Amino acid sequence: MNIKISLPDGSVREYPVGVTGMEIAKSISEGLARVSLAIEVNGELRDLSRPIDKDSSIKIMTWNDAGGKYAFWHSSAHLMAEALEALYPGVKFGIGPPIENGFYYDVDLGGRPFGDDDLAAVENKVKELAKRESTFARRDVSKKEALDYFTKKGDEYKIELINGLEDGSITFYQQGNFTDLCKGPHIPHTGFIKAVKLLNVAGAYWRGDEKNKMLTRIYGITFPKQKELEEYLFIQEEAKKRDHRKLGKELELFTFSEKVGMGLPLWLPKGTLLRERLEQFMRRAQVKAGYDPVVTPHIGGKSLYVTSGHYEKYGKDSFQPIHTPDEGEEFLLKPMNCPHHCEIYKSKPRSYRDLPIRLAEFGTVYRYEQSGELHGLTRVRGFTQDDAHIFCRPEQVKAEFVKVIDLVLHVFKSLGFENYTAQVSLRDRTNKAKYIGEDHLWDKAEREIQEAADERGLKTVAVEGEAAFYGPKLDFMVRDALGRSWQLGTIQVDYNLPERFELEYVGSDNQKHRPVMIHRAPFGSLERFVAVLIEHCAGNFPLWLSPDQIAVLPISERFNDYGQLVIDKLKELDIRGFLDDRDEKIGRKIRDAEVQKVPYMLIVGERESAEGKVSVRRHGKGDLGSLLLKEFVDQFRIEAVTP
Ligand SMILES: [Zn+2]
Ligand SMILES: [Zn+2]
């Protein structure tokens, strides 16, 4: 008897009942079979060796699929466990899952210390075992059999796990000399694991409970090719060098103070310059796009947030209300700018002719984050959004989306983010009751967001069920120079706040209507955006954005006067920079300016001062020869134009 197997390209092939994933892969091509790691059968990730006994749709998983990596790293965790058991007989095992990058295993080494040398020894053992090409064999076991096995082995952690499982649902996997309690799936054999790096060791309480014993968590990562491991390690190193917390300190952009409070960044003069340049850039783009700037306070009455619904979300789980001494008023630190903007909209009657109204504010908001969640500028407790709210008629939604997409793409292009995709978040069609807003408006907005994205040539994926309860949205995912993904620039339709604030406009029919609200913030938060930008460009900001654009470096104190003349002239022309008139060797001055990542260094000495010239050095590029100061300025100004 045959079964029908549907492939991802839509084709259907017939195979005998009991065909395995590996047999299907081979029937497609030997090349595919060589790189197949697992198979998805009707949405379930499984071993390639398991028979398929009914009509199914399948996808063969290779290293390029998340499912392939999952099986690969999960199998690697088992292999590391085998290596540990070979080197440390009697070691007990907790859990060993794959993670976003690699895998770990929590182990009880019976109190043995475990350091870097041990890590290297285990790594070597893993490499040795991998070469044996041991298959991962799956076996159904009864609960009793499973308990007997681990009781005999003396592993109380596995016994505890088995006790929480249903009889009939338990499987073992064995490779080489190691057997584990495991649901799978696994790769065909250990020989696929060609590159291994055990990364580090940490303590972890059994089951995450501090009342339990502290186990040793060993992290590792593996790859099918040595080259891929090398690339991964290179990127890790590079990411460390580019860490915005490290560069933020070195470039004197921002700092934190315990007294001011955790997660509340202090912008230093150079960071402030950078931030102000970004704000000016956005302000200009927004004026062109028809936005009106507004300013609103950092706090708002409690009832404002009760109306908006934010009190429910941010109330008791966030910063607590501020009370006035006499009047008994209650204020909340602003967690969102939208309610304030709704009140601005309501400040006078609106006609359909007034719409769209686009209110923009660099609005600072405060949200409580647990101290353990805080991270540099990417997770903070106070941050400024380049926020705006567009109030429009339903038939204007598409045109507004197109305009906002243009603005977001302008930001990406100007700041060197070339690699991005977008996600259209739609309703869950099977559960429409979950969402606020009229059915036909949702259908229309969802369709139009997609059309707007298509018109602008965006690569999109549409995901059902990802929309907020109050409206569909478009999210941008940006890849930085190290290939890491960041979500930047959400455009969100909102049917909820206009309802809650009873926003209205008088239509051409003289009747009252509800406007649609669109939230959008191309940078998102300036803090997080600056962090992403620092790591993306490694602190080498575009010239128009650099806090210091030039450094004037006299080769000795004799030329400080000429240096002063040069810097004064440049400052008059709105060029930002400084004169390094320290009593230091020129080599040292150049090195320091390089570390500060100053784009242009202007070296001045005997010849330069006599001829009214500067010797130009570009950061990362080296010597560009000597130019008349005026020639340099002309070239500089062309390059430094704000986009
Ligand atoms: Zn497992
Ligand atoms: Zn908003």
User: For residue 111, what pLDDT band results from cuts at 50, 70 and 90?
Assistant: confident
Q: Mean per-residue pLDDT for 139-147? A: 95
Q: Mean per-residue pLDDT for 295-315? A: 91
Distance 39 CA to ligand 1 centre (A): 16
Distance 74 CA to ligand 1 centre (A): 6
Q: Mean per-residue pLDDT for 146-163? A: 95
| Closest ligand relative to 175 C-alpha | 1
| Closest ligand relative to 71 C-alpha | 1
User: For residue 436, what pLDDT band results from cuts at 50, 70 and 90?
Assistant: confident
Distance 459 CA to ligand 2 centre (A): 25
In sequence order, the 6+-apart residues with CB closer than 8 A to the CB of 179 are 149, 172, 173
Distance 518 CA to ligand 1 centre (A): 46
DSSP 8-state class, residue 574: T
User: For residue 316, what pLDDT band results from cuts at 50, 70 and 90?
Assistant: confident
Determine the pLDDT at residue 437.
Answer: 81
| Closest ligand relative to 338 C-alpha | 2
Determine the pLDDT at residue 582.
Answer: 95
User: For residue 136, what pLDDT band results from cuts at 50, 70 and 90?
Assistant: very high
Respond yes or no: is residue 226 known to be catalytic. Answer: no
**From the candidates 106, 118, 387, 580, which is the catalytic residue?**
387
Six token digits for residue 370:
């647990």
User: For residue 12, what pLDDT band results from cuts at 50, 70 and 90?
Assistant: very high
**From the candidates 182, 338, 342, 537, which is the catalytic residue?**
338
In order, the DSSP letters of 19-61 are: EEHHHHHHHH-HHHHHH--EEEETTEEE-TTSEE-S-EEEEEE
User: For residue 314, what pLDDT band results from cuts at 50, 70 and 90?
Assistant: confident
Distance 295 CA to ligand 2 centre (A): 14
Q: In Å, how far from its chain's centre is CA 31?
A: 34
User: For residue 17, what pLDDT band results from cuts at 50, 70 and 90?
Assistant: very high
End-to-end CA distance of the chain: 67
Determine the pLDDT at residue 469.
Answer: 86
User: For residue 181, what pLDDT band results from cuts at 50, 70 and 90?
Assistant: very high
| Closest ligand relative to 490 C-alpha | 2
Determine the pLDDT at residue 431.
Answer: 87
Q: Which residues pair with 617 in a beta bridge?
A: 601, 623
Asked whether 79 and 192 are in contact (CB, 8 A), the reply is no
What are the pLDDT digits (tens) for 189-218?
999 999 999 999 999 999 999 999 999 999
Respond yes or no: is residue 338 known to be catalytic. Answer: yes
Amino acid in position 309? G
| Closest ligand relative to 73 C-alpha | 1
Distance 426 CA to ligand 1 centre (A): 35
Q: Mean per-residue pLDDT for 95-111? A: 95
Determine the pLDDT at residue 312.
Answer: 84
DSSP 8-state class, residue 443: H
Per-residue pLDDT at 5 exceeds 90: yes
Among candidate residues 524, 635, 485, the one with its CA nearest the CA of residue 573: 635
Per-residue pLDDT at 341 exceeds 90: yes
Range 424-446 burial, b when 16+ CB lie within 10 A, else e: bbbbeeeeeeebebeeebbeebb
| Closest ligand relative to 78 C-alpha | 1
Among candidate residues 268, 184, 207, 191, the one with its CA nearest the CA of residue 548: 268
Distance 387 CA to ligand 2 centre (A): 7
Distance 519 CA to ligand 2 centre (A): 5
As a whole number of angstroms, the distance between CA 59 and CA 80 comes to 28
**From the candidates 197, 367, 528, 613, which is the catalytic residue?**
367
Respond yes or no: is residue 597 known to be catalytic. Answer: no
Q: Mean per-residue pLDDT for 68-96? A: 97
Determine the pLDDT at residue 393.
Answer: 96
Distance 67 CA to ligand 1 centre (A): 14
**From the candidates 217, 275, 398, 473, which is the catalytic residue?**
473
User: For residue 620, what pLDDT band results from cuts at 50, 70 and 90?
Assistant: confident
Q: Mean per-residue pLDDT for 432-457? A: 90
Per-residue pLDDT at 1 exceeds 90: no
User: For residue 400, what pLDDT band results from cuts at 50, 70 and 90?
Assistant: very high
**From the candidates 46, 277, 389, 597, which is the catalytic residue?**
389
Q: Mean per-residue pLDDT for 530-552? A: 96
Distance 327 CA to ligand 2 centre (A): 30
Q: Mean per-residue pLDDT for 227-244? A: 94
Per-residue pLDDT at 286 exceeds 90: yes
Arithmetic mean of pLDDT over the chain = 95
User: For residue 95, what pLDDT band results from cuts at 50, 70 and 90?
Assistant: very high
Distance 181 CA to ligand 1 centre (A): 7
| Closest ligand relative to 341 C-alpha | 2
For the sheet with 299-301, list strands across it. 299-301, 330-333, 322-323
What are the pLDDT digits (tens) for 365-387?
999 999 889 999 999 999 999 99
| Closest ligand relative to 76 C-alpha | 1
Determine the pLDDT at residue 164.
Answer: 93
Determine the pLDDT at residue 123.
Answer: 97
Respond yes or no: is residue 537 known to be catalytic. Answer: no
Per-residue pLDDT at 98 exceeds 90: yes
Q: Which residues pair with 115 in a beta bridge?
A: none
Q: Mean per-residue pLDDT for 423-435? A: 90
Q: Mean per-residue pLDDT for 402-409? A: 96
What are the pLDDT digits (tens) for 625-640?
999 999 999 999 999 9
Distance 338 CA to ligand 2 centre (A): 4
CB-based neighbours (< 5 A) of ligand 2, an ion: 338, 519
Distance 297 CA to ligand 2 centre (A): 15
Respond yes or no: is residue 558 known to be catalytic. Answer: no
Distance 84 CA to ligand 2 centre (A): 52
